Structure 1
Amino acid sequence: MFYIANVSPRSTGKTTNSAWMGHALHERGRRVIGYDADDSRQFSRWQAAGAYPFVVQQAATAAFHMNVPQMVPAGFEDGVGVVDVGHLEDHQAVGASVLRLADLAIVNLPPSMNDVERMEELPLREFIENVAPLRLDSKAPVTWVLLCKAPNGVSEIKQVREYLEDEGYNVFTTVIPAVVKYMRTHEGSEILAKGSVFDELVTEMEERALLP
């Protein structure tokens, strides 16, 4: 199983991104399991009400890295696990456990300097690097920033991207816009990822060899 951890310092639409990402991966023919590593249990509620084509398992535990591999069904060893992680400012133990297992960490970040400051106050880079000695390969997970909830025509997007890249972060070209299509995702929402920006995101992930 290849694990993608959707993380952020605070609430940034990670559940929406996890749901759409999971659907986009499934529609590409990949076996997907969602993991709800947030005490709010929003991701698993959405799956239960929305008839998702993949299951979402509740896994908001500081023992995520030990428990989850034992829960993978037969035949899903080559699948993708999409993990919705509770915001790291208040759920550090769970977040650290998820990152001990994650193959790819995606930092979900609105393109504002205020959100960048929150990321640095955590501090996020050190948080991710500190799990390296606890991982099997002793390396921090591959980490990319996904700019999301982005208003149209905001010049700050370019400013934030350039700042992050200057600081050494990998930043996806794909940007998730703040549009009704995504912002109104909720329990019972029907999701079709084909042709969406999340479909573009999966294409970018594949082109960058970030997926197995």
Structure 2
Amino acid sequence: MRRDPAMLIANISPRSMGKTTDTGMMGHAFHEAEYPVQLWDADESEHLKQWSELADFPFPVETNASAKFAEEYTPLGEAGIDIVDVGHTENHPHIADSVLKVADLVIIHMEPSMADYQRVHQPRTSTPVKTMVGRSAFDRPSRTAPPMWVLLNRVRPNVRSEKEIRGLLIEADYNVFTVRIPVLDDIKQATGFPVENAGKGPFGELITEMQARGLIKSA
């Protein structure tokens, strides 16, 4: 279990919505902003870990895709940022439930489409993400769930769907970041390659927004 005030951000989604790419890019943006960074691959595919080895990430990437994540997680240290790429919630709820016990901030990564909105908010055969985050309160010392925010990902320019899905999320009482991650080849094709200047694009803007909202502390 955690023993110090390190910050753990849990990146989650029901299925493949660009979460692994976002985790790697976020890690580099935090690193460029001079935060101590440690990433965690809690997805059985270990794509994040593989990417880190191929691209020689300048910070550690650990693996723990198990229901014992909360017990075995070792924080980076005071003022450090730990970010975990959590296995798909609809397929691996035991991993998500464990990570949520110790997360300080939950970010739901989703595309602005009705199909992805339904998988997040009202799935037919799995537990809604909001329910999973809410029930984590019972296993946390504070008895309160971590704050949860939605990051719209793979957003295409000048499409009506982003505004519509953002509106539905807000009506359903989700917090939604103003910053969104656009569809860009530099981001879409990043996995497997070295990352440079991540902090000069939308991921740097995301860090700035998180700081402004008091979700993270300045480095």
TM-score, scaled to structure 1: 0.95
Q: Match for residue 183 of structure 2?
A: 178
Instruction: Show the counterpart of 2:89.
Output: 88
Moved over 3 A (4+): none
The residue number in structure 2 matching 1:104 is 105
Could you tell me how far apart the structure 2 residues matched to 1:24 and 1:167 are?
30
> Which residue does the alignment assign to 2:24?
19
Secondary structure at the residue paired with 1:65?
Answer: helix
Q: Would the aligned equivalents of 1:9 and 1:88 in 2 still touch at CA under 8 Å?
A: yes
Query: CA offsets, 1:30-89, max 9 Å, x none?
Result: 1000000000001111111111111100111111111013xx45xx23201010011100
Using the TM superposition, give the Cα deviation of residue 194 of structure 1 relative to its aligned residue in structure 2, in angstroms: 2.8
What is the match of residue 117 of structure 1? Answer: 118
Q: In 1, Cα distance between the equivalents of 2:17 and 2:196? A: 19
Structure 1: gaps of 5 or more residues: none
| Structure 2 unaligned residues grouped into runs of 5+ | 1-5
Give the letter aligned to residue 171 of structure 1: V
Q: Which letter does structure 2 place at the counterpart of 1:116?
A: Y
User: 1:160-189 CA deviation, whole Å, 9 max, x = no partner?
Assistant: 011111111000000101110100012233
Contact 1:20/1:191 (CA < 8 Å) preserved in 2?
A: no
Number of aligned residue pairs: 208
Q: Which residue of 2 aligns with 1:10?
A: 15
CA distance in 1, matches of 2:192, 2:39: 15
Distance in 1 between residues matched to 2:177 and 2:32, nearest whole Å: 21
Deviates more, 1:77-86 or 1:32-41: 77-86
Match of 2:204 among 199, 204, 210: 199
In the other structure, the counterpart of 2:79 is: 78
Residues 25 and 195, structure 2, Cα contact 8 Å, conserved in 1: no
Matched, 1:137 2:138: no
Select the residue among 56, 61, 67 that pairs with 1:56. 61
1:106–1:144: 8 Å Cα contact kept in structure 2?
Answer: yes
Larger mean CA deviation between 38-47 and 119-128 belongs to: 119-128
Cα distance in 2 for partners of 1:202, 1:68 equals 23
- CA offsets 1:143-164 (integer angstroms, 9 cap, x no match): 0000001111110100001111
